[in-house]
Chains A and B, each alone.
Chain A
Amino acid sequence: MDLQLPELNLLKMLPEIFLFLWALAIITFDLGTRRKTGATVGYLSLLGLLITGLILVFTGYGRGFGNMFYNDPLALFFKMIFLGASFMAIGSSFGLTNQKIVNHRGEYFALILFSTVGMMFLSSSNELLSLYIGLELTTIPLFVLAAFFKDNKLSVEAGIKYLVVGAFSSALLLYGLSFLYGMTGTTDILLMKVNLAVTQLKFEGNIGLVLIITIILLLAGIGFKLSLPPFHQWAPDVYEGSPTPIAAFLSVGSKAAGLVAFAKIMVNGLYAFYDPVMRPNDWGVLVGVLAAAAMILGNVVAIRQNNIKRMLAYSSIAQVGYIMIGMVSFNELGLASVAFYIFAYMFANMGAFAVVAFFEDKTGSCQIESYTGLAKSSPVLSIAMTVFLLSLAGIPPLAGFLAKFYVFAAAIKMAQAEGSYNWLYWLVGIGLLTSVFALYYYANVIKTMFFSDADSPYKLSFTLPVFTVIMIGLVGVFLFGLYPEPIMKFASEIPTSLGFIVD
């Protein structure tokens, strides 16, 4: 029996291997020191992420394991986001691991790192099987992390809800993927694309109704991960119940992982079937409707929330709606604007959640009214929160404004270029209109902090990790709002490298 291994090229996946080993070392270190040094374990995790980032810079583009592992601009850009989100989530966890999580700190940090490894692996996968496994490695540690307060009913409820929804959505996604495999006889996405095109030619453009149900299953499966309506109901409950840094990680890291899966399977794999000429196999309009629903529902329901974590959950549902506008704009700006959006969103959202987590650690409250008069007692924290919320709302000159601008620009450009895409104008219109609602509830928090006669009973002084995270967020929001060129240049390589836009 001869076993011919593909060309391994293991160096190309050194960042993932290193981060995985580092996570194991963290558990061992935590056990070896008899779980006495919570903060050290946290700092070690941060250090591991920094080193992984450095290795990632030197690894660069390339392939490993034959065709299995593929570092293209899409993979590298999103790996950067995953590492950043993980860094900021761990940085804002130090308050928790000092007070509430006293028994399993090593596992807490290691599970975050495992999930990050899964996301990085997912973004490098070039094939349905490894893509699915990467997605599972992303979510399974997050089930546990959501339920990490074992004695807290809300947290356990969040964990179970996320587990059931996650398993259900994975099953839907897998069912859709199995249809794709059945139609094309391959799991390689590029080959799948070719085979689908061949089948389509053979049947004179009428590939059959089964593609519709495939697309619906895939959309539902990934939609759950993205919390895109109508698959969003789990998000507010899970965000509210789980530890705040984990909610932040869910809203940025896990969402970015879903976006990568969407970009790989739908945008790259099924691009040929995104075209109104291809009716009824066109999925672009369907995603457009879901995006509109996300923007309207997320922004309107967020207004009524009293709990700031629930408010941020609905706001993140709305943000996915804006991101999906970029996803369905198939020009050279489309995917680039999506990447820039999630990059800018990472800084603002992780920063806002870091403030919420810090406030919760000190006061034990997540109610918006607890923030009353905070500007007088803790001005720096309030100003930071204000900046993050304004960036989420899309106010210039912050990064969130440019993100929305690029997404809308991509859609308008597409609609102008092709007459059959004029429904994108409607999408942009809804986006602009709902931004006003968004500004209302973000400004409500700012008003509570700044324009209230009552004095806040809380005086908060920073600790180093939280201060670092908030500073990273502030620098990111301002720097990339004023100077987006390097990031945009990097992001604009994504659509061309995927191969469906030749320029």
Chain B
Amino acid sequence: MVEAGVGIIFWILTFVIIVSALLVVTLKNIFHSALFLILCLFAVAGIFILLHAEFLAAAQVLIYVGAVSILIIFAIMLTSNMASKKIIQTNQNALVAFFACLMFLVVTLVLINKTGVWNYSTRNLPAENILTIGKLLMTDFMLPFEVVSVLMLAAMIGAIVLAREDKA
């Protein structure tokens, strides 16, 4: 019974993801596209929860829905006439791109399905999933964790350099 319920939720989420993702790249109004992007990212967070990856789900909501999408909406609102303009999202390469992506998708699916060598862990997930990730980040993976802050600093300095208006 529980299994069936999970299955139904999975298909609903998948449907939402695919439809909203398609709408993001086809709608004429950029503001509507941004809203559907948020919906799409939310549904992806739902998939993560189904997979017992609570940390990923929380990060997905916090970073993509909370920060990135809000920034996109701010950028649209603060740019004059952007929200009311009609945009064309395709060019003459659309068909080629579609078939290239379709080919990649089909090849990847076939290859993944034909492979039976995934190194599954047979152990159960630790109950305190997030706690374990936090511990690892603060011990074994502390070095990359610290370097990420250097990376953030560099990105921030770069963004300020590019965005700042210089006096002549």
Which positions in A face B, CB cutoff 8 Å? 1, 3-6, 20, 27, 64-66, 68-69, 103-104, 107, 110-111, 114-115, 117-118, 121, 127, 129-130, 133-134, 136-137, 140-141, 143-144, 147-148, 150, 159, 182-185, 195, 199, 202-203, 207-210, 212-213
Contacts and interface: CB of A to CB of B under 8 A. Distances in A.
A107 B160 CA distance: 10
A130 B147 contact: yes
Contacts of A199: 117, 119
B19 to A, nearest CB: 23
B63 to A, nearest CB: 16
Contacts of A107: 157-158, 160-161
Contacts of B144: 68, 127, 129-130, 133
Contact of A65 (B110, B115, B119, B143): B143
Contacts of A27: 157
Contacts of A213: 107-108, 111
Contacts of B142: 5-6, 65
Contacts of B153: 114
A134 B112 CA distance: 29
Contact of A114 (B108, B148, B150, B167): B150
B161 A144 contact: yes
Interface stretch (B28-36, B83-91, B133-141): B133-141
Contacts of B112: 210
A140 B151 CA distance: 8
Nearest to B160: A107
A118 B153 CA distance: 12
A140 B155 contact: yes
Given A121-B147, A150-B166, A143 B158 contact: yes
B147 A182 contact: no
A118 B148 CA distance: 10
A182 B119 contact: yes
Contact of B154 (A114, A130, A148): A114
Contacts of B121: 185
A133 B143 CA distance: 10
Given A114-B150, A185-B121, A208 B115 contact: yes
A185 B108 CA distance: 20
A114 B139 CA distance: 25
B146 to A, nearest CB: 9
Given A65-B143, A141-B158, A183 B107 contact: no
12 contacts: A5-B142, A65-B142, A68-B141, A103-B166, A111-B157, A114-B157, A144-B159, A147-B162, A148-B161, A184-B119, A207-B117, A208-B115
A6 B140 contact: yes
Interface string B60-102: 0000000000000000000000000000000000000000000
B149 to A, nearest CB: 10
Closest 3 CB pairs of A and B: A144-B158, A208-B115, A210-B115
A3 B107 contact: no
A207 B140 CA distance: 30
A208 B158 contact: no
Nearest to B155: A140
B5 interface: no
Contact of B147 (A115, A137, A208): A137
B117 A183 contact: yes
Most buried by A among B117, B140, B155: B117
A316 B165 CA distance: 35
Contacts of B154: 111, 114-115, 118, 137, 140-141
A129 B141 contact: yes
A110 B139 contact: no
Given A207-B117, A208-B116, A213-B107, A133 B151 contact: yes
Nearest to B108: A213
Contacts of A4: 139
B39 to A, nearest CB: 22
A27 B156 CA distance: 13
A129 B150 CA distance: 15
B103 to A, nearest CB: 12
A55 to B, nearest CB: 18
A183 B119 CA distance: 5
A202 B115 CA distance: 13
Most buried by A among B115, B118, B154: B154
A130 to B, nearest CB: 4
Contacts of B141: 68, 129
B79 to A, nearest CB: 17
A133 B114 contact: no
Given A111-B154, A129-B141, A130-B143, 13 more contacts: A64-B143, A65-B143, A111-B157, A114-B150, A118-B154, A130-B147, A133-B151, A140-B154, A185-B119, A199-B119, A208-B115, A210-B111, A213-B107
Contact of B111 (A69, A134, A185, A209): A209
A203 B142 CA distance: 35
Most buried by A among B121, B139, B148, B150: B150
A104 B135 contact: no
Contacts of B143: 64-65, 68-69, 130
A79 to B, nearest CB: 15
Contacts of A159: 162
Contacts of A110: 157
